[in-house]
Amino acid sequence: MDGEWTLVAVALLCGVSFFLLNWSRQKQNLKRKLQIARQKREAGLQQAEQAVSHFKAENPGLDFSPIVALPLSELSQKIREGSLQPDVVLHAYIEKALEVNSKLNCGTALLIESLKQLEDIETHKDGLLYGIPISIKDNFDYEGYDSTCGVFSKVDNPAVVDSVVVKVLKRQGAIPFIKTNIAQGLYNYECSNPIYGTTVNPNNLQKTSGGSTGGEGALIGGGGSILGLGGDLGGSIRIPASFCGICALKPTANRISSLGLNTCVKGRMSILSSVGPLARDVDSLALCMRALLNKDMFTLDPKIPPLPFKQEVYESSEHLRIGYYDNDGYMQPSPSMSRALQEAKSLLEQAGHMLVPFKPPRIYTAVHEYFLKNLLADGGATIHSHLKQGPIDPCLNYGIFPGLPRFVKKTISLVLRCNHPHIASLVDSICGVSSVADLWEQQSDIENYIHEVIEQWKKLELDVLLCPMLGPALNLTYSGRLTSGVSYTALYNLLNFPVGVIPITKVTAEDEDQLRHYKGTFGGFGDKLFIKAMQGSVGLPVAVQCVSLPWQDELCLRLMRELEALCAKNKKPNTQ
């Protein structure tokens, strides 16, 4: 008998030893990967600093500040006419990006190869983006560099080839020079991950830059880049643009190739990520679209419809029939969001456009049953398989309960159903679907919903749509607890409608005072949290969204261009 107990004790000891040894190895591996990622970034930053110092020593008296202040159209013109050289422009933006990154923590890699690209830049002189430095989101593959998505499983796994978008940019003469920070797993609208840390807002360091493309928003908003590219799955381009006070476009999915973009969840078909540009003005967005939508892209990725950019639609001056709403019925907008919408509506009406009330149908069902349940159809299992290999960002612990078994989530939903039906429904939606048949049925429901919205659109004979945009920027760490904030953006990923963001106004003291009386839609914990998240925002930018039907991206940009011009015209008398 004693011999049997001895064997049990030995087996138990071996099991515990194996567990501890394996845990220790995993911990050491994580530490090694973290060191590799941060050392790579630091080495790139140091090389970039040395390159700028060397260039300035060889060219004494150079003043970079006027260069980085130029709008894209003027910068491009000066490069083409020869009054500015591409090498001067690139070094000017590298220096500015280094400065902005030191304050905001927005970069993940300085692409030193951009300096080598200067050697044959003259061969791309006919490109629409000739000599223009451009920033790209961390998950865009660039040969020789990691596309981490903010997770440890993708560290120290450099891309073998450039993504299609990077290849096309280079052929158009653009110079990708920096990769920018993202939310962990691309699953949150706060730009934070355990590898590279948190990116903060260029207008207020206590605020988030938004996510998941928060590094782009911060870098461009801070003046460290003139044009950038990101991806949008639920607002990932638009939220950073809104929070940082810049312009952005989420095109129709598959208008621009996503081949070579890394992600933690592949194979999703109903809700697709869209590749799109971020910039300081609308003309820059349009120029980027023109540059990308060419035969090079259509050849490199034959799945992309060969639809060149329709410049005549973008430049049209005909009056538009514009639908609008100031509350989607899911999340009550902040006072500044409502005011921005009303100001934009008033400007458009004064310019002769027709504004028609519009209401998104069944928004509650659309957000919970269609968007969230499809986004997390597997209950978050796939994203969790990446997250569990390292520390999980606190924001994600609030949002999708990574690793929590389905039956536990279902139990929580049942317990909350009586007193907190909204939260119960939210928890139920992140359980995902129960079977393949359930997934197919849901995909069919989504298709029917899209047609329902289009029919409503056609019935009102709309050209475009104007609606609120989440803003101003939230205080740090609140994004993960405010899932309701994405209702205004996620709807158009579900519908696959092109949608852009343009800043309209800034938060006033009166807006801040009215925020104290905010009631919200459901009157629960989330609505009270929303007030805390928005406090201290006086002076921060507030935007609106401009929407069009699928494949009519140029019409969306047309409305944005109109609003941009009207806002500029409206500000002149006030300035004087």
Catalogue the active-site residues.
Answer: 137, 212, 236
Contact (CB, 8 A) for 349 and 570: no
Closest Cα to residue 267, out of 377, 431, 390? Answer: 377
Answer whether 365's CB lies under 8 Å from 448's CB: no
CB atoms inside a 10 Å sphere around CB 161: 12
Spatial distance between the Cα atoms of 343 and 545, rounded to a whole number of angstroms: 13
User: What is the radius of gyration, based on Cα positions, of the chain?
Assistant: 24
Answer yes or no: are the C-beta atoms of 185 and 150 closer than 8 Å: yes
The two three-digit tokens of residue 3, written as one number: 């011999």
CA distance 41 to 112: 11
CA quadruple 237, 197, 260, 258: dihedral, nearest 10? -10
Are 315 and 322 contacting, i.e. CB atoms less than 8 angstroms apart? no
Burial of 514 (0-12, 13-18, 19+ CB in 10 A): middle
Residue 573: exposure state from Cβ atoms within 10 A (0-12, 13-18, ≥19): exposed
CA distance 78 to 86: 10
Contact 558, 314 (CB under 8 A): yes
Distance of CA 377 to the CA centre of its chain: 21
Phi, psi dihedrals of residue 412, rounded to the nearest 5°: -60, -40
Omega cis (within 30) before 76: no
| Strand order through the sheet with 464-468 | 107-110, 175-180, 133-137, 227-232, 274-279, 247-250, 499-506, 541-547, 464-468, 321-324, 354-357
CA torsion 368-233-361-420 (nearest 10°) is 20
Residues 227-248 as b/e (b if ≥16 CB within 10 A, e otherwise) read: bbbbbbbbbbbbbbbbbbbbbb
